[in-house]
Structure 1
Amino acid sequence: MRKFGLIGKKLGHSFSKKYFTEKFAREGIADSSYALYELPQIEDLLPLLQQEPELVGLNVTVPYKEQVLPLLDALDKAAARIGAVNTIKIENGRTTGYNTDYTGFNQTMERFYPPQVREQALVLGTGGAAKAVWAALEALGIPFKRVSRQENKGQLTYEQLTPEVVGKYNLLINTTPLGMYPDVQEAPALSYKSITARHYAYDLVYNPEQTLFLQKCAANGAKTINGLPMLYAQADSAWHIWSSR
């Protein structure tokens, strides 16, 4: 039996188990299962690998996409450059980290935010998912500004997101968990009244499908997309990594 799974702190929101279980059944992939592994701390990964010797692949979600790096035997070039991992391949007792968030985000951007409308982006959040988004935006040649709760050089704080600032960036990307189930009444703090029909709002959260962030943006005419298309794309990329020899 080949075992796959997801590691994170709280996994009640996860789509991965349903997705891969249905994939195995639909495509006739035998002797394979997918489980959720809630880890109170990332150091619990090593005991998990010892307890589950049949594990061959893991997805990684918040808050461990960055914390997992020093526990892995190797990183592929993209994951090392990005500084975050969301996919682990386990082969002959060795763990290698990959980043398919980058791939998934990149693929969805081509359709949602095509070249003819591209200006510059505000990226809300500075965690592991944000790092993949930064790398993808750089690859696409889209200028962007990071937004953080703390003051840091080269970044904006949420207090600085005035109507004038929000108006300058026609792509808003939420990489934070704000608005994720069950905390559906939360949304990033910014001047929503300055959002117009020229804006594009991308929320990496996918549960609920219409977060408060997306609702507020759409109410002012913005085009919106949630994290589901990216999630499907990154899951397919993860499966390709696990399946390749």
Structure 2
Amino acid sequence: MTNAHAYAAKLTLCGSISLYPVSLGAAMHLAGYRALGLPFTYVPFRVTDLGGAITGMRALGIRGLGVSMPYKQQILPLLDGIDPLAAKIGAVNTVVQEDGRLLGYNTDCVGAVRAIEEIAPVKGARALVLGAGGAGRAVAHGLADAGAEVVVTNRSLDKAEALAAEIGGRAAGVEEARNAGRYDVVVNATSVGMGEIAAESPVPEEAIPAGLLVMDIVYKPIETALVRAATRQGARVIHGGRMLLHQAARQFELYTGERAPLDAMDAALREQIAKLG
């Protein structure tokens, strides 16, 4: 057997499934594999038949798959086991194959917590989470699980109340954003600020005090209206790319068993985001 054939025989396949695959995850994972010299590769798959894709994952021995909307909830009954936190969130964005069993995880929540903890402790922090959709659920559960006191706002107050009840937090209307100064951490987990949707800040600039920790999960653009406003006010700012990076890093660890090389993955992410404009 040639060296090339030996390498191919040992190559481990990972990837992602989405209706509209993009290169952000692939770029980060591939950069991480190269940095550590791991015999892994990563392929983003466009999937319209979720059941067929999962059957294929089992049959082909694919080690791990990232899962994008609209499949994060649909995939749950197709798995053999679900991490307890992912089960509470009600969504899986990562599937790992272990000895023929498919196990589901949610690394979005881990990504949010890790991004914040780069700057300040989460335990005991008073956190305001804007949004109770899929991203808001992951962020709120992650923060609450890490010991934060969480208040959830949402345009539909009943959704905020339901999520708050799940995490032992409190719900409020969207006007609570005007009280940002009462909190240690404010996280925008809505699409407000995304270039194509609403190029505005969900928090009034005058409501942002210096020193407040502000995270926007929107990463396109990296400098959202909220990020710019918070920067002008002297707040501590986390852009959406950091959560994206850390959720991918946790996936990397689940797939490879190795510590993720953040610098290499971050450089690849920034390059791809720049290409997106």
Q: Which amino acid aligns with 2:173?
A: T
| 1:28 CA displacement | 2.1
- Counterparts in 2 of 1:86-165, with a 5 A limit? 86-114=93-121, 119-152=125-158, 153=161, 154-158=170-174, 160-161=175-176, 163=178, 165=179
| 1:49 CA displacement | 3.1
Alignment-derived partner of residue 80 in structure 1: 87
| 1:155 CA displacement | 2.7
| 1:55 CA displacement | 2.1
Alignment-derived partner of residue 181 in structure 2: 167
TM-score with structure 1 length normalisation?
Answer: 0.81
Q: How far, CA to CA, are the matches of 2:211 and 2:95 in structure 1? A: 38
| 1:225 CA displacement | 0.5
Alignment-derived partner of residue 6 in structure 1: 16
Alignment-derived partner of residue 38 in structure 2: 29
State whether residues 84 and 129 of structure 1, in contact with CA within 8 Å, keep that contact through their aligned partners in structure 2: no
Q: How far, CA to CA, are the matches of 1:128 and 1:185 in structure 2? A: 18
| 1:127 CA displacement | 2.6
Deviations 1:54-87 (A, max 9, x none): 4221112344333332232210223223322221
Alignment-derived partner of residue 226 in structure 2: 213
Q: How far, CA to CA, are the matches of 1:140 and 1:73 in structure 2? A: 26
Q: How far, CA to CA, are the matches of 1:71 and 1:179 in structure 2? A: 34
Gaps of 5+ in 1: none
Q: How far, CA to CA, are the matches of 1:109 and 1:167 in structure 2? A: 17
Deviations 1:188-243 (A, max 9, x none): 53433221213221012333322222112222222111133333333232222223
| 1:16 CA displacement | 0.9
Deviations 1:93-117 (A, max 9, x none): 432101222333222322323479x
Q: Which amino acid aligns with 1:24?
A: Y
State whether residues 223 and 239 of structure 2, in contact with CA within 8 Å, keep that contact through their aligned partners in structure 1: yes
Alignment-derived partner of residue 217 in structure 2: 204
Q: Write 1 or 2 for the structure with the bigger share of helix.
A: 2
Q: How far, CA to CA, are the matches of 1:106 and 1:115 in structure 2? A: 7
Q: Does 1:229 align with 2:242?
A: yes
Q: How far, CA to CA, are the matches of 2:234 and 2:41 in structure 1? A: 43
Q: How far, CA to CA, are the matches of 1:172 and 1:102 in structure 2? A: 15
State whether residues 184 and 211 of structure 1, in contact with CA within 8 Å, keep that contact through their aligned partners in structure 2: no
Gaps of 5+ in 2: 1-10, 162-169, 258-277
**SS of residue matched to 2:214:** strand
What's the Cα RMSD here? 2.8
